Structure 1
Amino acid sequence: MTARRTDAKHRISAIAKSNRNRAMWLAGVVALLAALCALSVTVGTRDVSWSDITAALAGRTDNLGQAAVALRIPRTLLGLFAGSALGLAGAVMQGVTRNPLADPGILGVNMGASLAVVIGIVWFQIETAGAYIWWAIAGAALAAVFVYTIGSLGRGGATPLKLALAGAATSVAFASLVIAVVLPRADIAGGIRSWQIGGIGGATSERIWPVLPFLAVGFAISLISARKLNLLALGDEIAVGLGERVAFARASASIGAILLCGATTAVCGPIGFLGLVVPHVCRLLVGIDHRWLLPFSALGGACLLIAADVAGRIVARPAEIDVGILTALIGAPVFIWIVRRQRVREL
């Protein structure tokens, strides 16, 4: 009896220590995000003074410096929302598929949303922000179902490698279709090509407000799915034995991820690899418990996207590099490293 009590005390002590460490990491990530947001507002192709920054934050745009800061504020907010959405969506997709290679870009979800928006613009003349979002969400959902269906064919079902290959092939095919759809429309081809790179430059409050309700619903569904994802990580048979409806759990969590991916792609374009890199880094910090992993992935995604945006403004002054290019430069080596790891079959 005494030995059991001692073991129980040790377990409780270990859990408390782990939670304290996670809370410390959480405080650190929040502080880093706040610092990056401040940096995003103050750093750019034009140098600004502190007086311009404070005046712009108060709503004044009396000179070029204040106007520059006023443009950076919605850009920073969009980076915060989009990065959080993509980081969280990546963690959810990895949990749903138990696939360490899962990512909105790699699985073709972002490109499916992109193709749907382009078709809507060229063939159906959609113009409103709300229409872009609905078309993007529909395209993301269809792409996710298509890739999962293709990856499930054959022996072994939907293995990580088969899903990654199906997603990569689908992304390439959809990218080609985007070019084919846009090619006859020289009047809009330039704007669509720029949007396809993925970026948050030119953000305005008019672009951000319509997407917030979709992101809010996606965040809520994804975060609520944390317990379901923990059970799915134990395997389908164990999850069923514990009373979880596996199909419903996967479908509900996937809906949250699709909403986040589709809404973000509609306003920013397809930004790849962020949803792959961030969950892996967060998993090293806080472990595999999705109750911690999901919020950490959201915060980490925001940090990475804002940091990439700030770096893109600095390295090519007076021009800028879109965040889609920088996240690809960061994510591609990580993707190769994960693929080359042995025993990379499931989470």
Structure 2
Amino acid sequence: MATFKLAKKDAVSDTRTNIFDLHEKKLDYFETEKKKLPEYLHQLKKLKKQVPKDSDERNKIYLQITFLEEKISGITDDNDLNNYLLDFFVTINNNSEEQQFEEQKNKGQMDSFCNSTVNNSKLETYNNYIRKFNPELKEIALNNTDKIKCKNCSSDDFMFDYRTSSDVCTSCGLTKETLINDDAFTVFTENVEQVIVFNYDRKNHFQECLNQLQAKENTTIPPNIIRDLSIEFKKYNITDPKMFTNSLVQSYLKKLKYNKYYEHIPTIINEFCGLKAPKLTPELEQQLKIMFDEIQVPFEKYSKVVCPLRKNFLNYNYTFYKMCQLLGKDEFLNYFPLLKNRERLYEHDLIWKGICNDLKWEFIPSI
């Protein structure tokens, strides 16, 4: 009977992964830590009950207690997760401008996909990530074409052609066959940039929101809703038209379980007490539409980073609020209440911060 054993695989040698795979594993780790919180609390309680006589043992327990308290604090306040996400943004954007320059420079060229400068820049981003967050993983060797000297013209300006596995001198055209580690290159070849098809439903809904804000919609508010609101307002002696704010009407709609009519509040106020809905100038409306178009691509990019499982777009009230805030249209901010859930609001802010970074907009935090 054969007694040989299969060699164990090196758990950290597989470089055929990418930053976003590692990022998702990191997020899974934070989620697992949250689930372990009761276990950590129990351990802490148990340690605090121990009173050893030996000083060395006391110091050991003290260190364990301190470690657990810091870990619990990091989990409950999401400090560790938030710090990681912020550091992650910095890491993946560190080489973005350099990459964009190189890619733009080679745009339209048949051989642009094999430009070693761009590939090295992406590999360096990967290496920066694992150095910071996964130091146990092996870094990928960069393609050092800059160290090659052409035997024909002594130029060191080489481009690597992955189709023929050769270095090509850009000055005289001399080629030199090179053996490369194909596994290393697949780290980024599987990260093909996706062409994002603009979601027509989003744009359509955005226009509907603009119409609802200005009470331009064709929706007819059922008479029973107006009647029920009238009864509530009379009950609490609410008669002054100036008191009919969005937040007031929303609170009574919630009380009456008419939640699905939140988006029609401007129309309800208009029909109920004759107060005119806000009006946007054609120029402002067009500017908002342009900004909405511009945020689509960076949203897809950063929503996958911050919340990989997210399928929906940003909250539309949040989006309008942030756009009006950037344009200095503070008179409209009260019409767009921000999310009450601080965790969701912070998640939106992280995505919005990435969007602002890519579009060179000012980022104004909500919290």
Q: Same fold (TM over 0.5)?
A: no
* Larger helix percent: 1
The two structures have a TM-score, normalised by structure 1, of 0.25
The higher relative CO (CA closer than 8 Å, separation ≥ 6) is in 1
Q: TM-score, normalised by structure 2?
A: 0.24
